[in-house]
Structure 1
Amino acid sequence: MRPTTSLSLSLLSTLLLLPISTLAAFTGEAEADGVKFDFTQLKTHSVVVEHKQDPSVLKSTYTINPAGKIELSKDEKEDRCPDGTQVCMISRLWYGDKPDEHAAQIISFGNVESPKDSEPEYTIMRDEEKKVLGLNVTFHGPEYGEKKLKQNAIVKFLCDQEMTGLEEPDKDGKGTNALKFVAYEGDQTVTLEWRTKYACEKPLGEAPAPSQGSWGFFTWFIVIVFLVVAAYLIFGSWLNYNKYDARGWDLLPHSDTLRDLPYLIKDFLRRAVNTFQGSGGRGGYSAI
């Protein structure tokens, strides 16, 4: 017997399923019905569910990485899902405070390393007023159990502006968990809900994220000119110091020109002013 929980009736009553799309592998980004979703800011997350089975307790841990495969510990050799797994379910019997030596159940859903065998499907969720509720992603797994039932994991990314999706309980189990177990129905379909602001539709006119692209041509031109001038001054100063034992201003290349530069500029401006003033006078002979 497996733990089950009824789905949210309010969600089901307002859910409109649009045409299903498939992905070779779900890496946290998707576009459905003109709406783009980006869950790459989320990280690997887990939720633990307990189900009493006297005299033991069955604890099931559901772990998901929406942006790729779950990074597995090197210490775990037996009780773990295969490499490349995106959604992992591991159930273990506990007797008091002692866990059973081996897991009772290990099921994997979705595999980024063999996407042809587990192509995920996704569809946008809207209410009756066409408001975006989130994204529904289905990860497929292998056949499992005596009946060889095809396993599936449905992850509902639900819009919640108040949650980032990174919330999780502390070591004592206190605190809110953004990831919620909903049901494991018919020993073949797991349903999880993940509340996050990243499942919300961005308002029209919202400014896009600042570009992280490379510098423009003008910026590179300024940088290159600065580096060339600096290199010229450093090399010229070094040459004057070693060859002529120069000091102070004499270290700089063309130091005489640099000293006279203020006077040259002043003389240039005076000539320019005189030229403009002279051009404004009347032509012809002057009166006697």
Structure 2
Amino acid sequence: MNYFRLILFIASVCAIDISNKHLRPYDLNKIAGLHEVTTELETPPSITKSVWYLNIYDSQDKDGKDKMDVENCPDDSQICGITEVLLNGKEPVVSEVVAFSRNLKPSIETNDNNVTVQLTGAYWGKQSIAADIVFECSKDGDYDKDLLELVGWNRQQLELRIKSKAACRSDNKGRKDDKNKDKDKDGKHDSDSDGSWGWFTWFFILGVIGFAAYIIGTAWLNVSNRGSSNEAFSEFVDAVVEVVSRIPGFLRELAGKIFGSSNRGGYSAV
């Protein structure tokens, strides 16, 4: 199985931002927004109701919201759980609020079948808590919003899951943005490689012209000194043949040095 892990440490995270370059091979933007899942437990004479909210944020969407607009949840939450106690004839009583701030630094694990976002460093009172959000590939699924599932919560570790074809990896998606990464970074064209190629070209041309002038001048001096051009012409022809025979090898070596160095690139996860 093609499996790799990407650990991202981000200074400021606006919820789970799916525009991150490591998530581009997926269609998670199609399930961006607020998701929720509800569970109820009979606790006679009351009913205990828990609702978990997950905000999937796309910073490239001008209508995207990085704040969770849910009553009783902190505004800076990317995950929030509200537990209420329901009694007949009485207003619900909020008994628990669990929140994971959008400023937490996540790690991201990806493979061909799912994407897992791990959040650590949150606290519920004095208790340290963590969360795993698993985006599971489901080719038969859809992009409906009612996709969030509560896998488990033991008051220390939360696990949420979304099954959707939006979590299926597409190797061709997002590559256009990185195709010319080495030549065009942060909107600036890398002119050094083009400039170096032009400089070498002119250097080579001038060198050939200078060498040819040297051969012709030498032949002319030989003719003047010896009074005959036959031997000088023969030497000239031999010299030209030798120079021409060396040109292909020189060009291959020159091109290898230029293009070999300019094609080095790629990036590693932060």
Residue 136 (1) aligns with residue 113 (2)? no
More helix by share: 2
Q: How does 1:55-94 map to 2 (within 5 A)?
A: 55-67=45-57, 69-72=66-69, 76=71, 80-94=72-86
Give the whole-Å Cα distance in 2 for the aligned partners of 1:16 and 1:207.
19
Q: How does 1:1-288 map to 2 (within 5 A)?
A: 18-23=5-10, 24-25=12-13, 26-32=16-22, 36-42=25-31, 43-67=33-57, 69-72=66-69, 76=71, 80-96=72-88, 98-100=90-92, 102-111=93-102, 115=103, 118-124=104-110, 126=111, 132-140=112-120, 142-145=122-125, 148-168=126-146, 178-185=147-154, 187-204=155-172
The structure-2 alpha-carbon separation of the partners of 1:203 and 1:106, relative to structure 1 and needing over 3 Å to count, comes to same
Shift of 1:38: 4.4
The structure-2 alpha-carbon separation of the partners of 1:206 and 1:85, relative to structure 1 and needing over 3 Å to count, comes to closer
Larger radius of gyration: 1
Structure 2 counterpart of 1:72, one-letter code: D
Bigger shift: residues 156-165 or 18-27: 18-27
Structure 2 counterpart of 1:85, one-letter code: S
Give the whole-Å Cα distance in 2 for the aligned partners of 1:188 and 1:69.
25
Give the whole-Å Cα distance in 1 for the aligned partners of 2:69 and 2:37.
16
**C-alpha RMSD of matched pairs (Å):** 3.1
Shift of 1:154: 1.3
Give the whole-Å Cα distance in 2 for the aligned partners of 1:61 and 1:182.
13
Shift of 1:138: 1.9
Structure 2 counterpart of 1:95, one-letter code: L
Identity of aligned residues (%): 20
TM-score (norm 1): 0.50
Shift of 1:136: 0.3
Segments of structure 2 that go 5 or more residues without pairing to the other structure are 58-64, 178-270
Shift of 1:71: 3.7
Give the whole-Å Cα distance in 2 for the aligned partners of 1:206 and 1:165.
19
